[in-house]
Amino acid sequence: MARHFRFMAGLCLLIGACHAESTRTPSAQPPVATTVREPAESHGGLLDYELMLTGGASQDQELPLLLAVHGLGGSPERFQGMYQALSTPARLVLPRAPLATSNGGGSWFFFQLDDPDRDAFGRRLHAAAKEVVVLLDWAQDHFPTVGKPVITGFSQGGMVSLAVAAGWPGRIAAAVAVAGDLPTILVHEPTGTPSDLPPVLAFHGEEDEVVPIEFMRTATKALKARGYQVELRSYPGVGHGPSARMRRDYTATLQDLLENTDQPAGNRSNRAGRPSR
């Protein structure tokens, strides 16, 4: 019961932080991010999503694509606050988790603290990542896009981002996970060379009791052993909710990746990626 309370406290901390960010009093400068509404039938059969444009970008502009995956109990609307500080012109697709939660948000898969069956957890995570990849592929084809997409996420969303990097490395330019996890059952021997693998960047609080950093350390070690370029940034004294410093570092990392995403989007030679398991 105590661990469940800590989990919900961490969840509420993140949701509250995102809400505060999105409702902050605007400065004299024009907003750098706008929300774009599309009719639901325009992407029928896919995960629902919200669309954001950052850096003063226009809807018909050819832009880098960032797919941002919210955490357990979150939603695209709540998660948008994490990206208001992005000044780089980019298109953000924020998918909505398909399983409803009691707080009005969503879940990507069934999750429990200290799940003893890591293999079953991995299979549930892989299934969720597969749905996200379908949306990612559709978005890259549907919108005028520069280069391969970058995928990112928090908590469950960070887990999904890492699973996409491990299972479909050819689909993305990079994966950035905050407070994530990746069961090693999903880390397979790559079929290509290390140069074909996307860089993986992880941000994690050292005092995270919801998703302990030891899981992320194990995951990054396994990814490195398979040839991935991996960087894990740990933050002393930080729990599951991202600190101000972590948020600044995270935003700077995303900006750098989006500014340097210049591989032609028309190249679909890597679409095969990792065979689905």
**13-49 confidence digits (pLDDT tens):** 444 444 433 333 333 343 445 656 554 444 567 899 9
Task: Determine the Cα angle at 94 with ends 9 and 219, to 5°.
Answer: 65
- Model confidence over 65-108: pLDDT tens digits? 999 999 999 999 999 999 999 999 999 999 999 999 999 999 99
Question: CATH number of 2-22+44-259: 3.40.50.10420, 3.50.50.60, 3.40.50.1820, 3.40.50.2020?
Answer: 3.40.50.1820
Tell the residue number behind the tokens 């880098």, with chain if given.
64
Element (H, E) at 139: helix 118-142
Q: Record the pTM.
A: 0.82
Q: How far, CA to CA in Å, does 207 sit from each of 3, 10, 180, 200, 262? A: 13, 11, 14, 21, 37
* pLDDT, tens digit, 9 for 90 and up, residues 139-161: 999 999 999 999 999 999 999 99
Q: Which DSSP category does 63 fall into?
A: B
Please give the pLDDT value at position 140.
94
Q: What is the dihedral of CA 218, 222, 228, 234, to 10 degrees?
A: 10
Which range has highest mean pLDDT (182-191, 229-238, 253-262)?
229-238
248 C-beta neighbours (distance < 10 Å), count: 12
Q: How buried is residue 255: exposed, middle or buried, by Cβ count under 10 Å (0-12/13-18/19+)?
A: middle
